[in-house]
Structure 1
Amino acid sequence: MAFETESQKKTYCLLGDVDVYDVAVVPKELELVDKNASLDVPRFRFPDVGQSFKDFFNTREVGEFVSGALAGAMTKAALAPLETIRTRMVVGVGSKNITGSFIEVIEQQGWQGLWAGNTINMLRIIPTQAIEFGTFECVKRAMTSAQEKWKQECPKLQIGPVNLNLSVSWISPIAVAGAAAGVTSTLACHPLEVVKLVPSMHGSKDRLTISPDVYPSISIALRKIYKEGGVGGLYSGISPTLIGMLPYSTCYYFMYEKLKSSYCLAKKKKVLNRAEMLVVGALSGLTASTISFPLEVARKRLMVGALQGKCPPNMAAALAEVIREEGLLGLYRGWGASCLKVMPSSGITWMFYEAWKDILLVERRHL
């Protein structure tokens, strides 16, 4: 007869209510925990939207995007009168000198006329500068990173006994980024430039910047241009605009970065102060504007002529028309007014942009 040892003994418990018919005997190891204990059911948690937005707006890209927008808005508000005079002179409306244009605007529309069309300028410059600076910084970083990887794993091309290293070190990330910034911002914001500049399709030379009679508001201008020309009307002159933008934008960013790095190297310093940024930015704008100004004159003539019904067939024809009518100096008509606007504009824009980056990206110190 076998006996169970102490360790082999099992205890049992009763499950069920007091009714004996519902009683079941099971080992005590399977005894349920307290009947009244609540089950641990997984809880559904809503995502922290606020934190997601906070993390998004704290990224470097958003900081650069916002810095560009704020810099553009502040610069445009300060320099709106010069933009009005420059536009009048480039298109050929009114007086042919800066002082005469100022006097004409004040006599015809009062002091507020110097800010005529500034609303559309602000609406145009804020997204334009935001997209432009944001694109420039992103493309520059991407190109620099790609070049570093390409150096480490540089592919080779063998043609017979000749081995060629496919190096891309000769490509300037700054130049590529500058070109990409100009093209991207132009494609995104060109309709606002058309509304600001072009005359009506009936041949009137009045524009939103010069006289608000034809286009009393931005929404009316957009609807009218779209009704008369469709999407193509809103993108009137996009081809010459892109052609003119490429050399300007490429040179503009390239000159600023190179002048800044050369000056810092010569002075043995890491960053520029605000006054130095102002001067370097102004010089970069002057250089870029001088190189690309004939294309700017041809571009404005094409945009205006397209809606007047007497548009030259292409940019080369527009340049030839200007030379035929006004000589070689006609290619630089309004250059003085343009420099008067471009130099302070580019200088102030870079100064504000770098200042806002210091504020918005202070924790990351990417500057």
Structure 2
Amino acid sequence: MAMESNSQKKSFCVLGDGYGVVMVPKELDLEKPHHSFNLIRFQLPDLTKPIKEFLRNREVGEFVSGALAGAMTKAILAPLETIRTRMVVGVGSRNISGSFIEVIEQQGWQGLWAGNTINMVRIIPTQAIEFGTFEYVKRAMTSAQEKWNQNDGPRLQIGHVNLKFSLSWISPVAVAGAAAGVVSTLACHPLEVLKDRLTVSPEAYPSIAIAVSKIYKDGGIGALYAGISPTLIGMLPYSTCYYFMYETLKKSYCFAKKKKTLSRADMLLVGALSGFTASTISFPLEVARKRLMVGALQGKCPPHMAAALSEVVREEGLKGLYRGWGASCLKVMPSSGITWMFYEAWKDLLLVERRYL
């Protein structure tokens, strides 16, 4: 007689309800799950190191540093920008204190930050492109000069006259400053137009969307580039002088004080002086530029920069070319100083392992 071993015996459980009973092996007990499922865990890759390495790239670090410096500066100095714009275009009071009081009475304290949203949107790409272009072109020009000098440069023989071409008379800083101003202006000029419209006429342009719609309806795409010619013409002397003065004062100060780098306070002072000098030299062109950009609001838009300048002289005399200069310096000097201070600080932070001058 065949006997079943204990290992072959099967135990049963009873399943039933009011209609019947059935016996099934315990291995198939439906009331207890006999399969165990492992949870699927997703782990995001650690991007900290790649991001740090990306930001420490020279060009990226300078680009980001410029954007952050511009944003922080504009957030602090927005009220001065509002007063400066109103005085330059001839809206409201003709003195700084009167403009402050007028804005507060008409629009409240928030009126001092009129157009600041578009100003922030404008300044981030503008400063990023400007500083990034400046640093890149300066390095490229310096490298080109070094290679040119090493190869002794090209020569031109005309009879007994031997002409040698040289790039040593060209300042890489000046060329880089001019390039920075032109490139950033071409890229971000429509945002400047929007900012001025929102600042000068917040009633007519209560939001960015409405401002874009009205400007486009009135003049198409060309209206967003109103005043681009005088802007470029005015930007060339300003940007060239601005960067040239900063680099020159920085090197001279370090040489005089026998320092390798400037302190934050020194950067604030040197940046303020460079902004003051550049603004003073190019201010009449700034007046003409602002007149062209917002002239349509007053129903009398000059056809070109020369007409705008002559209009100012005819109505207000030569001193009209510097109307708002005090407010401009009040804004430009701290803005320039703070921007350079923040820029150098962010660059030191982002390029901590690689220091570039």
Is the 2:55–2:350 Cα contact (8 Å) retained in structure 1?
Answer: no
CA contact (8 A) 2:269 2:337 kept: yes
1:54 and 1:266 map into 2 onto residues whose CA distance is 36
CA-to-aligned-CA distance 1:95-119 (integer Å, 9 cap, x gap): 0000000001111111111111110
Matched residue SS, 2:162: strand
C-alpha distance in 2, partners of 1:104/1:59?
Answer: 47
- Give the conservation status (yes or no) of the 8 Å contact 1:237–1:306: no
Which residue of the other structure, out of 102, 111, 114, is the alignment partner of 1:113?
111
Q: Equivalent residue for 1:265?
A: 255
In 1, Cα distance between the equivalents of 2:280 and 2:313? 17
- 2:233 pairs with 1:281: no
**Residue from 300, 316, 329 that aligns with 2:319:** 329
2-structure distance, mates of 1:356, 1:364: 13
Tell me what 1:298 maps to: 288
Runs of 4+ in 1 over 4 A off after TM superposition: 48-55, 306-309
Deviations along 1:233-273, one digit per CA (max 9) or x if unpaired, are 11111111100111000000000000000111111111110
Name the CA distance, whole Å, in 1 between partners of 2:55 and 2:305: 42
From 203, 218, 229, the equivalent of 1:213 is 203
User: Normalised by the size of structure 1, how large is the TM-score?
Assistant: 0.82
* More contact order relative to length (CA 8 Å, sep ≥ 6): 2
Shift of the alpha carbon at 1:228? 2.3
Q: Give 1:187's aligned amino acid.
A: L
Could you tell me how far apart the structure 2 residues matched to 1:135 and 1:284 are?
A: 19
Tell me which residue corresponds to 2:239: 249
SS in 1 for 2:203: coil
Kept in 2, the 8 Å contact 1:241–1:299? The answer is: yes
Contact 1:84 1:116 in 2 (8 A): yes
Match of 2:88 among 75, 79, 90: 90
Q: Aligned to 2:156, what secondary structure does the other structure show?
A: strand
Q: Report if aligned partners of 2:137, 2:176 keep a CA contact under 8 Å in 1.
A: yes
TM-fit CA distance, 1:301: 1.1
1:13-72 C-alpha deviation (Å, 9 max, x unpaired): xxxxxxxxxxxxxxxxxxxxxxxxxxxxxxxxxxx9968766543311000000000000
CA distance in 2, matches of 1:182, 1:264: 26
Q: Secondary structure at the match of 2:211?
A: helix
> 2 CA distance for matches of 1:111 and 1:54?
40
Partner of 2:166: 167
Q: Structure 2: 5+ residue runs without aligned partners?
A: 1-44
Single out whichever of 93-102 and 57-66 deviates more from structure 2.
57-66
Q: 1:86, 1:338 within 8 Å by CA — same for their partners in 2?
A: yes
Is the Cα–Cα contact under 8 Å of residues 285 and 342 in structure 1 kept in the other structure?
A: yes
Q: How many residue pairs get matched?
A: 311
CA-based RMSD of the aligned residues comes to 1.7
Q: Distance between the aligned counterparts of 1:227 and 1:321, measured in 2?
A: 27
Q: 2:185 corresponds to which residue?
A: 186
Distance 2:74 2:225 in 1: 23
Give the Cα separation in 2 of the matches to 1:212 and 1:306.
15
Secondary structure at the residue paired with 1:87?
A: helix
- What CA distance in whole angstroms lies between the structure 2 residues aligned with 1:346 and 1:193? 18
The percent identity for this pair of structures is 83
- Structure 1 57/66 Cα, relative in aligned 2: closer, same or farther at 3 Å? same
Tell me the residue number matched to 2:17: none
Partners of 1:65 and 1:130 within 8 A in 2: yes
